[in-house]
Structure 1
């Protein structure tokens, strides 16, 4: 057997000796790959060598668009201008890129006041210049969305990056009296451009219609159509079913036309009053 390594898509596997010292097309990305010779008897297998590791994990340098997935947990931004990123998400960069934490009045007094009222904690960093920027968020899975005159609401904790020309605002889901200390916030993004969101594991998108409302756990809810206005509700029986301790069981109800994105994991975004 000989080792097949594609630097284009990262596919790595063992193939038959008959392909040794030949060029074959990658079955995944169709790129031509040169195959080395078989290991000689008595020599260490190259399968777990440093050169094999470097080859399998090397950057892909696709350079196709502004936002690209280097892997499903690593975002590549081919920067030539400015983008907003989640503070602390930069893991590496190449080229001349300057990072500036957003100023207290960077987005105006209105958004400053909304942050104070909602307790919205996502701090943004402005990345400017020309180069390649790599972002990640604790190994969460990344999805890229290209807005084309549309709008989407994203939980602030799940927003990784967005283009500078995207319009955004902080939205507040009104609390049920005495239920939440600060309600639940989200970020509404609209216009034309790229955004990147994160989820724990694979996201699931549920369709919402006027005759088929969707109920979700706020801590597992990642994003939803900008046209939807969710409501917070409580369900004591649901609390009992889930085995919660004290307090009310909080749910989000979506009704109308659109979609809701959830993740198979609960993150704590707020505290009960």
Structure 2
């Protein structure tokens, strides 16, 4: 992924490598709720260069503009433009609705506003370490071969 003048905020778990021309600073995003996508250490990366990121599944880059904000699951966010405003909010849902992952405490999302982008993965799992990528439904959710 290219880093340009806006900078990039990325979950440190997803960073594999970065150009030596880039500068980084470790920050903690406060979370009273222990939500994985926003309660860990993040890197603010500035300068111009490339960053290699590892995700579970093919990531999707979503454009954010003042008239088109983006909401995403807090556990699926990988990175975003540092210039964006970020808010955490509870999703509204019926507790009786079946969810594919059961009762996981899901219901928190991050809302991104301003000009920039948000990079999300099609999974709520951390990138697999030393895992072979499988095929079918298991691979779609970053679970490797079954």
TM-score, length basis structure 2:
0.69
Distance 2:95 2:27 in 1: 27
User: Deviation at 1:260?
Assistant: 0.7
Distance 1:247 1:203 in 2: 23
Partner of 1:157: helix, strand, or coil?
helix
Moved more, 239-248 or 201-210: 239-248
Q: 1:240–1:161: structure 2 CA closer, same or farther, 3 Å change rule?
A: farther
Matched-pair contact (CA < 8 Å) for 1:173–1:230: no
Unaligned runs of 5+ in 2: 128-146
1:195 paired residue number: 51
User: Deviation at 1:241?
Assistant: 4.2
Distance 1:242 1:208 in 2: 30
From 123, 126, 147, the counterpart of 2:3: 147
Matched-pair contact (CA < 8 Å) for 1:153–1:188: yes
RMSD: 2.7
**Alignment partner of 1:262 is 2:116:** no
Matched-pair contact (CA < 8 Å) for 1:234–1:249: yes
Distance 2:96 2:112 in 1: 22
**Alignment partner of 1:165 is 2:21:** yes
Partner of 2:48: helix, strand, or coil?
strand
Structure with more helix by fraction: 1
Matched-pair contact (CA < 8 Å) for 1:208–1:254: yes
Distance 2:28 2:44 in 1: 10
Matched-pair contact (CA < 8 Å) for 2:13–2:126: no
After superposition, give the CA deviation of every residue in 1:159-217 in whole Å (9 maximum; x if it has no partner): 11012331111233332x4x227824321101123321122222111111222221111
Partner of 1:165: helix, strand, or coil?
coil
User: Deviation at 1:249?
Assistant: 1.8
Matched-pair contact (CA < 8 Å) for 1:228–1:256: yes
1:226 paired residue number: 82
TM-score, length basis structure 1:
0.40
Structure with more strand by fraction: 1
Q: Highest relative contact order (Cα 8 Å, sep 6+), 1 or 2?
A: 2
Matched-pair contact (CA < 8 Å) for 1:156–1:187: yes
User: Deviation at 1:150?
Assistant: 4.0
Runs of 4+ residues over 4 Å off in structure 1 = 238-242
